Copies of this chain bind each other. A is one copy, B any other.
Amino acid sequence: MKMNTDSQRSPGRPKQAEDNLPVQEIILQTAAKLFMEHGYEPVSLQQIAKACNVSKPSIYYHFTSKPELFKIAVTTMFKHVHQATSRLLREADNLETGLLHVAEARLANPHAEIETLLREAERYLSEKQIEEIRAAENKIYIELADYFKDAMDNNLLRSNNSMLLAQTFSTMMVIGNKEDTLRAHDSTLNLGKEIVEIFLRGTMVR
């Protein structure tokens, strides 16, 4: 039985690794990390298997193919980013704190710029797989856009296209990919503060 979403589990195979994550989850997290770091083509299933301490056949036991593993790994990663973003914004006392926490989380986990990654991977993926990845990413933008829309309704942010603000904010986080920039700011927290300040001054009602 092959899995298609990360909520399904193969019956009778509750394999657990040292840290108690099911093997399937370990494969997904490791694959996402490697794909995000090196791109699609340079990462082999062999390499993912080795990094997970499993055999290549056991990757094929859980996932039908490399494109399918890529799609599930990336959409699962986006789902986690979406959940974390939603929680951080909801738990924060105000707009600035919420954005700071999101920025800090994003900058601490720099990942490939998704358009660049998808262009490299697209000849291996079906249209449907690309669509599913974009849909998962889009949920993060929608979450942020809703948050910005509320802030506009409360007269905190200037009226603007809330989706554009969501994409602008997310794009600004790509600066976390620059290791030199991160190093120059001691911590992701400091860099996050600078970026959020520019964004908020740029978008707030004065």
Contact partners of A164 in chain B: CB under 8 A = 181, 184-185, 194
Contact partners of A185 in chain B: CB under 8 A = 164
Copies of this protein in the complex: 2
Q: Which of A6-14, A52-60, A69-77, A166-174 contacts B (4 or more CB under 8 A)?
A: A166-174
CB-defined interface of A99-125 with B at 8 Å, one 1/0 digit per residue? 000000000000011011101100100
Query: Is A153 in contact with chain B by the CB < 8 A criterion?
Result: no
Q: A residues bordering B, Cβ < 8 Å?
A: 37-39, 41-42, 112-113, 115-117, 119-120, 123, 160-161, 163-165, 167-168, 171-172, 174-175, 177-178, 181, 184-185, 194-195, 197-203, 206
Q: A164-B181, A198-B202, A200-B202 are in contact. Are A41 and B120 (CB under 8 A)?
A: yes
